Structure 1
Amino acid sequence: MDHAPHLIVLRGNSASGKSTVASELQGNLGAGTANIGQDHFRRVVLREHDIANGDNIGLLANTICYCAGIGYNVIIEGILVSSHYREMLCRVIAEHPGPSHVFYLEVSFDEALRRHQGRPLGLEVSPEEFRRWYVPSDLLGVPNEVVLDATADVRVTVDAIMSALGNPVFTARDARRFL
């Protein structure tokens, strides 16, 4: 790539559509775009609960910086509750060599719960537990943070993000090496 990589922070409550939007966004941005999912690192790689000062916070920061440092555009997506992740995200954003974009997918508790109950995790996590996870309007409070309506169609949301990015077209150094 002939430009500094973009950093896209995509946050929101559980069942707000972050993972779906991130996957679509990665497809739109093309080869050389890393999609870093908080849940994968926390739940699968480390098998860790989401706690203050959790080990996944540093792992996410290092992964974001590594991927950006080798020229990838980076999407970091997850609940990334501000009380646990704000300091790390603000540091990564401040140190990022290219454009940084922060999006928050806003969804009501009732809509998030409805979506949650239709997922496999809905069988494991009760509505009462889910309510404890939900943090309304959990913004980072960083400049230019954009709040998006999570009830909008995925395509509408991805188009809004692409527009905010300036509808970039990326050309990977060696497109043959990417899936």
Structure 2
Amino acid sequence: MAKLILLRGNSASGKTTLATQLQAHFGTDQCFVLHQDWIRRELLQANDHPGTPAVALIEDLLDFGARHYQLAILEGILRRDVYGAMLLRASQQFEQPSLVYYLDLPFAQTWQRNLLKARPFTEAQLKSWWLVADQLTSSDRRLTAPTTADNLQQVLNDWQQINQ
């Protein structure tokens, strides 16, 4: 049965980079990665609000990942009010425990990371999307390290512990 790693957090907190590095570690033949932004913005060209078609498509893609890969990784802001019920439901298709993370970095740090992007968002945009403590459940693991390398090591350590 497949395992799930869920990476959630505010914009520019390092979710996409971390997911990409995890897939490189585990290998593309074993690891399926879903990027919420790409699905919602590029594929569906949909807004991020209750009722967005991205919820159903991500759920279907998670089902595909559970059936065809050893590991599925989903990363994105994935607001609890929009995606929470689906994420809790979809995670049940995976071997437990799932690794559910919330990248919990200060706004100032995400603002600085955002400025390094090829097409950075404005400060007003980032502030308008900013969510405080948007964890799915109290058992979410918080990633607070300032570097992706430190967060990667934490996820790999947690992975090793649940697979012993």
Same fold by TM-score greater than 0.5:
yes
Q: Bigger radius of gyration, 1 or 2?
A: 1
> How many residues align structurally?
162
Shift of 1:167: 6.6
Q: Which residue, 142, 148, 154 being the options, matches 2:148?
A: 154
Which contiguous aligned blocks of 4+ residues in structure 1 show a shift greater than 2 angstroms?
94-99
| Counterparts in 2 of 1:121 and 1:52: CA distance versus 1, 3 Å | farther
The match for 1:12 among 9, 21, 32 is: 9
Letter of the 2:130 partner, please give it.
Y
Residue 145 in 1 paired to residue 140 in 2?
A: yes
Corresponding letter in the other structure for 2:123? P
1:46 matched to 2:44? yes
Q: How far apart, CA to CA, are the structure 1 residues paired with 2:32 and 2:161?
A: 17
Out of 28, 34, 52, the residue aligned to residue 25 of structure 2 is: 28
How many percent identity over aligned positions?
28
Q: Is the 8 A contact 2:4 2:95 kept in 1?
A: no
8 Å contact kept, 1:162–1:168: no
Answer yes or no: is 1:134 the counterpart of 2:130: yes
Residue 75 (structure 2) aligns with: 77
> Larger deviation: 16-25 or 127-136?
127-136
1:104-151 per-position Cα deviation (integer Å, ceiling 9, x unaligned):
1111111112222332332xx321122010102211115x31001141
User: Residues 65 and 141 (structure 1 numbering): CA distance in 2 closer, same or farther, change over 3 Å?
Assistant: same
- Name the TM-score, length of structure 1 as normaliser: 0.83
Change (3 A) 1:110 1:121: same
Distance 2:118 2:79 in 1: 22
Question: Could you say if the C-alpha distance between residues 5 and 95 of structure 1 is closer, same or farther in structure 2, counting changes exceeding 3 Å?
Answer: closer
Distance 1:150 1:11 in 2: 14
Q: What CA distance in whole angstroms lies between the structure 2 residues aligned with 1:155 and 1:118? A: 17
Query: 1:168/1:91 Cα in 2 relative to 1: closer, same or farther (>3 Å)?
Result: closer
1:154, 1:127 → 2: CA distance?
Answer: 22
Contact 2:66 2:93 in 1 (8 A): no
Give the secondary structure class of the aligned counterpart of 2:75: strand
SS at match of 2:69: coil
